[in-house]
Amino acid sequence: MNRAISSIGRTGAVFLALVLLVAALWLGAAIGETSIPFETVARTVANRLWHAGYPLEPIDEGIVWSYRLSRAVVAACCGAALALSGVVLQSLLRNPLADPYILGISAGASTGAVGVAILGFGAGFLTMPMGAFLGALIAFALVALLAVKAGRGTAAVILAGVVGSQLFNALTSFIVTKSATAEQARGIMFWLLGNLSGVRWPDAWLAIPAALCGLLVCLWHARSLDAFTFGAESAASLGISVRRIYLVLVGTSAMMTAVMVSIVGSIGFVGLVIPHAARMLVGVRHGVLLPAAALIGAIFMIAADILSRTLIHGQVLPIGVITALVGAPAFAFILGRRGGRA
């Protein structure tokens, strides 16, 4: 009986999550500088997916399908991936302030992507996502090495992340300044702030599998993440292969971050704020926390994208500006609650 109730509860939670996600995507496709009726959005999707044949204005259908819906899908994948990465890094490092942005992973991914795009690293064999992935791994390895040398404490990890972020941000700026044309420099600097304006369906077909694979890998290791609640030594005493879990989950986090950075640029604070919001709502068990964080992150990023398109009439703000306006006060609040300790 209890199993049946639990199964119904899980089924209901999954159904509710899907409804909320679909509703957010629907709003993302309907709301903009030019509002489009919800009915038009539904009919556009029906026409494109099932050839329903509803008569629609070509302009409205093009805006919904080719611009807003693809953008909303990528925003959802980006928010989910960054939130998952934040949960994983905070759990593995036992540090509530860890996230891909603060630990330098986003900065490293940006450097790798810019190096491929401008300098041609890889001689044509490396794509931007692959370059971003290598940059993310190098950045995290550097941060980990610095943290070990500094004593492995919580403060050491954060300070090492700050150093890594500054270093790779400086490298990116150096590459852009030295080797990019004026047009490339303008485009890349806007992209580095987080930009969804150029996103189309080919980007979504890259973002969707990256986010889904990341979620599945993290869920597969949810019990291992629970074991890390009491530290790596406690996890090892429970039979957890600590080194393997670190490699798999840090690699997965770097992969998700790198793919999203290569598509939309570096977006801060999502991986920091969303995991804390999810823990407040569903607790610390990772079997529930991971999907909850992914859902909240997806909805948050869609909402941030809507704000970026509507906050200033006739102008689209970089989405990183919106997430920073929300994330920076939240980061300050977390620091304040911890009494100034990192």
pLDDT in tens, 122-167: 656 777 788 888 888 898 888 888 877 876 566 677 788 888 889 9
Of 181-190, 192-201, 212-221, 303-312, which gets the smallest average pLDDT? 181-190
The alpha carbons of the chain give a radius of gyration, in whole angstroms, of 20
One DSSP character per residue, 203-229 reads: HHHHHHHHHHHHHHHHHHTHHHHHHGG
pLDDT at 314 over 90: no
Beta-carbon count within 10 A of 185 CB? 15
Answer yes or no: are the C-beta atoms of 280 and 96 closer than 8 Å.
Answer: no
Cβ contacts of 40-48, under 8 Å, gap ≥ 24: 40/64, 41/69, 44/69, 45/69
pLDDT at 200 over 70: yes
Q: What's the pLDDT at 122?
A: 66
Model confidence at 342, pLDDT cuts 50, 70, 90, reads: very low
pTM equals 0.89
Q: In the chain, pLDDT over 70 holds for what percent of residues?
A: 92
Answer yes or no: are the C-beta atoms of 258 and 132 closer than 8 Å.
Answer: yes
Residue 312, classed as helix, strand or coil, is strand
Answer yes or no: are the C-beta atoms of 70 and 87 closer than 8 Å.
Answer: no
The one-character DSSP state at 63 is I
The one-character DSSP state at 230 is G
Model confidence at 119, pLDDT cuts 50, 70, 90, reads: confident
